[in-house]
Amino acid sequence: MTKIAILADLHGNMPAIEKVLADLKTRQIERVFCLGDLASGPLWPRETIELLMQQDWTYVRGNHDRKLVEEHAPEKLGESDAYAYKRLNMQHLDCLATLPSTLEIEDTFFLCHGSPAKDTTYLLETIENGRVRLSTPEEIKPKVISIRVPLLLCGHSHTPRVVTLENGLTIINPGSVGLPAYEDASDGYFVVECGSPHARYAVIENKEDGWKTESVLIPYDHELAASQAHKNNRPDYEIGLRTGYMRGEKIPIFG
């Protein structure tokens, strides 16, 4: 029996990460796959990277991890990345630089952040009418045409989903540990909302009749995280962390 935790989109949210770590210890988890976007955001980037460096996990990098490594001029970064960059040292950035963009493991798992080809692509979602919706199989298939393993694990949309295509490929997005709602202006203006402030991750377990998937929602001190966002003048993060919804001014988080 193999029991694996899948984490993604931590975004420097230390109270959420610490609660998830505590929950993992109660579940006899054998391995942890972490799908990137580790530190970016107005919360606790340095503390997050230092904690994650102590974990024996398997990582791929997210689009924000990549930006922190590739762009060495904070003024050219978006607000969330710039905040993190100014608080990380070279050891932290070197750690992020070692992370692969994708990873195939044991002819069973394919790990990526967005899609196999691009870390900023929503794999299971389509942007429509200012929101994301579940993509149709016809929309998903071209993005996974190269995949030859049974399980694909992705993040990026912060939205928990499990999709199985007709060829048997199962795609799992665990949702976000650190940010349950956000605004984005990268492709027009749209919002992603999960509807509650929980930290989210997934557990998969290899059973006799196939892989069992559990979506886990963990309560934590989200008011502490929202207060940190408020302290750092990020009302967009603050409302998302506090409610799991986005309201008010259209201020893109990932500018």
Encode pLDDT of 131-178 as tens digits.
999 999 999 999 999 999 999 999 999 999 999 999 999 999 999 999
Reported as a single tens digit per residue, the pLDDT across 40-80 is 999 999 999 999 999 999 999 999 999 999 987 778 899 99
* CA 218 to each of CA 16, 84, 123, 157: distance values in angstroms, whole numbers, following the listed order: 8, 25, 24, 18
By residue count, the chain amounts to 255
- Mean pLDDT score across all residues of the chain: 94
**Domains in the chain and their CATH numbers?**
3-243 (3.60.21.10)
Sheet with 210-218: list strands edge to edge: 58-59, 31-34, 3-7, 199-207, 210-218
Res. 224: pLDDT tops 60: yes
Range with lowest mean pLDDT among 108-122, 181-195, 228-242: 181-195
Which residues are within 8 A (CB) of 108 and not within 5 positions of it... i.e. 6 or more apart? 149, 150, 151
pLDDT of residue 187: 72
Query: Which amino acid would we find at residue 178?
Result: G
Task: Provide the pairing of β-strand 102-105 with 109-112.
Answer: antiparallel
